[in-house]
Amino acid sequence: MINKRFRSMFLFLAGIPALVHSNPYSDFESRVNAAAIKPFALDLGGLLGASSFHSGRSLGMPGFEAGVVGVVQSKPDRNNLILRNSGIDAFGLPLVRGAVGLPFNIDIAAHGIKLEGASVIGGGLRYGIFQSSLLTQFLPSVGISAFGDRVTHRAFRAEHFGFSVCAGWDIPIITPFIGVGLDSTRVTVKAATAAGVVGFSEIAKGYRATLGADVTPFPFMRLRGAYLLLHGVVGGMASLGVQF
């Protein structure tokens, strides 16, 4: 059972670059107009925010984790004509990330990537509001997180801020979790074919929710898979990493 999950997770993560390889941003310059900026920002912010979902449990000092995460949205928002008119269906974002545990149930985390002409760099804090113990295993660990990201592309730049609340139940081998989050994303146009659009910026605010699980098939190895709802659009997340 675990081997099947491991293979499925590996195939999901391996498929993220293929989705991104279609380069959903390649036609941004030729298709952007004033009305299209906000829906584009909504989809971008959802991917960035969903990558920060976690099980609700802090690493604890001197905990450490490192790995890769991939987020996929099954289709663009109905108003995201930049992607829809470019023939983009499912699209995703892979990130390399790491985190270290600090005192008082605080983690500091960072992630980023440079791919297909776009670079993403971001980081934030996670705080364990309540961490279940041997005597309270029936209760979930609850954590909050706040992340900021900056995306740079030849045709646009984006600033994203996301906030999440997650809760997870510690069961041997598997940790199911749920989470909700909010995102605020500003996209500014740097290059456009349409006259008068360069310099325009819009802010999009969206929500997201997740239902997933962490699996520990081997000591210090963590697999994560989750169903996502990104401002009403179905998606998925998977990650593979080491955790101490």
pLDDT at 61: 87
Structural domain count, the chain:
1
What tens digit of pLDDT does each residue of 62-74 get? 899 999 999 999 9
pLDDT above 90 for 16: no
What tens digit of pLDDT does each residue of 133-147 get? 877 878 999 999 999
- Domain with 123, as residue range(s), is 2-243
Higher pLDDT, 60 or 202: 202
What tens digit of pLDDT does each residue of 152-187 get? 999 999 999 999 999 999 888 899 999 999 999 999
pLDDT at 134: 76
pLDDT at 117: 85
- In SS3 terms, the chain reads as CHHHHHHHHHHHHHHHHHHHHCCCCCCHHHHCCHHHHHHHHHHHHHHHHHCCCCCCCCCCCCCEEEEEEEEEECCCCCCCHHHHCCCCCCEEEEEEEEEEEECCCEEEEEEEEEECCEEEEEEEEEEEEECCCHHHCCCCEEEEEEEEEEEEECCEEEEEEEEEEEEECCCCCEEEEEEEEEEEEEEEECCCCCCCCCCCEEEEEEEEEEEEEEECCCCCEEEEEEEEEECCEEEEEEEEEEEC
pLDDT at 2: 44
- For residue 129, give the CATH number of its domain: 2.40.128
